[in-house]
Structure 1
Amino acid sequence: MSSNSNSNSGRRRPALLVLDLINEIVHPDGKYAADGYFAQARDRSVLERTAEAIARARAADIPVIYVVVGFSADYTEWPAGSPVFEKARADGRLKLGTWATQVHDALAPEPGEPVVAKHRISPFHGTNLELLLRTREIDTLLLTGVSTELVVLTTAQAGHDLDFRVQVLEDATLAGDAEIHAAALKVLSRIATVTTVEGALPSTG
């Protein structure tokens, strides 16, 4: 899907990506809750905003694609040298197929909606995400998720270089604290459109 084909098509074909909004990170019982993610999600109503984005996308027949980060039970894919994932193996975090890596109940996928499992920050690394997007003829990525400075930024950068238009739904994204979130949005504004749920998915009701 080239930039030329996007411009010739005359209309946007978006998909909503729900990035790493899993129990381990945004549920109060998750092992990353103490790192500020649960508090930020609660205080900024991020789960509620994301649920609204999902509902609006479904109503408009916009594909919703979920991405969850995690590792096999034996941590075969675990990157030993990563400061991001260094805690995971030590205390059994982010095990795929467990409650920890399930999408939060407030955002649960419907039957048929893809759930892409990844083992690194980028949802494109070692996954079939690009194939899912290309086969649906998607040209625009609407990003929600956690955290703003990691998966959201990385997805925006990769999406940009793969010739997708990228929109970041600011009120449906979060970092571990407000300062990091704001700094990440400043960087994201260089490569993507920073907007809101209402801005990207206006209500038709």
Structure 2
Amino acid sequence: MTNEALLIIDYTNDFVADKGVLTCGKPAQAIENKIVTLADEFLKAGKWVILPTDLHYKNNPYHPETKLFPPHNLGHSWGRQFYGKLQTWFDQHQNDDHVLMLDKTRYSAFCGTNLDLFLRERKVDTLHLTGVCTDICVLHTAIDAYNKCYKLVIHQDACASFDQNGHKWALQHFKTCLGAKISS
């Protein structure tokens, strides 16, 4: 039996809500129920639920995204809170030993974090990826996971992007270049 973890990547107000700074809008809002359902299923099965979440500081001259995007997911802001039902779910389960919110400052949830160590300590070998953006943070996390020899399952009905062409391309890339299982 594999030891599995669900990663819910960047499902925050800034990336999902209509008033979010870098919102994926309706496509991201449409996956809300699926993400919460998966979180419930994983937790009930004794598996891990990890929420890698962007953390930025306004006008940080040392961060490459400062030149690419407006300030987003700023610490202690409404934009960094989880969107909708996921915030309620997190509030109810944040003290569970199988739930971890993980601050990240780069696209990949592995870059500059202890995610790999956390997973290896728990003998996790399969990662289920969800969240936003399919072609940015989900993609970069998947590539790092692949390079670290994790098995990948991408839940296409629980991922979204503000770029539908990028979303479709990333799903194909996960399958053909990373050997990921695409689940619906």
With the length of structure 1 as denominator, give the TM-score of the two structures: 0.79
- Is the 8 Å Cα contact of residues 40 and 177 (structure 1) preserved in structure 2? no
Give the Å deviation of 1:68: 0.7
Deviation track 1:50-107 (CA, whole Å, cap 9, x = no partner) reads 1111111111111100011121356365226753xx322xxxx321222211222311
1:125 maps to 111
RMSD: 1.8
- Is the 8 Å Cα contact of residues 68 and 102 (structure 1) preserved in structure 2? no
Deviation track 1:173-192 (CA, whole Å, cap 9, x = no partner) reads 01113322111111111211
Count of aligned pairs between the two proteins: 175
5+ residue gaps, structure 1: 1-10, 197-205
Q: Which amino acid aligns with 2:150?
A: F
Question: Paired residue for 1:25, among 15, 22, 27?
Answer: 15
Question: Paired residue for 2:27, among 40, 45, 57?
Answer: 40
Partner SS for 2:120? helix
Q: Which 4+ runs in 1 deviate beyond 4 A?
A: none
Partner SS for 1:87? coil
- Is the 8 Å Cα contact of residues 28 and 132 (structure 2) preserved in structure 1? no
Q: Which amino acid aligns with 1:184?
A: A
Take 2:20 and 2:74, find their aligned partners in 1: how far apart are those partners? 12
Deviation track 1:182-204 (CA, whole Å, cap 9, x = no partner) reads 111111112111112xxxxxxxx
Residues 97 and 13 from structure 1, CA distance in 2 versus in 1: closer, same or farther, beyond 3 angstroms? same
Take 1:82 and 1:135, find their aligned partners in 2: how far apart are those partners? 36
Q: Which amino acid aligns with 1:41?
A: A
Q: Which amino acid aligns with 2:181?
A: T
Give yes or no for the alignment of 1:16 onto 2:6: yes
Deviation track 1:134-170 (CA, whole Å, cap 9, x = no partner) reads 1211010000010111111111111111111011000
**Which one has the largest radius of gyration?**
1
- Is the 8 Å Cα contact of residues 53 and 104 (structure 2) preserved in structure 1? yes
Residues 63 and 77 from structure 1, CA distance in 2 versus in 1: closer, same or farther, beyond 3 angstroms? farther
Q: Percent identity?
A: 26
5+ residue gaps, structure 2: none
- Is the 8 Å Cα contact of residues 71 and 77 (structure 1) preserved in structure 2? no
Take 2:84 and 2:66, find their aligned partners in 1: how far apart are those partners? 32
Give yes or no for the alignment of 1:140 onto 2:126: yes
Matches within 5 A, 1:91-102: 93-102=72-81
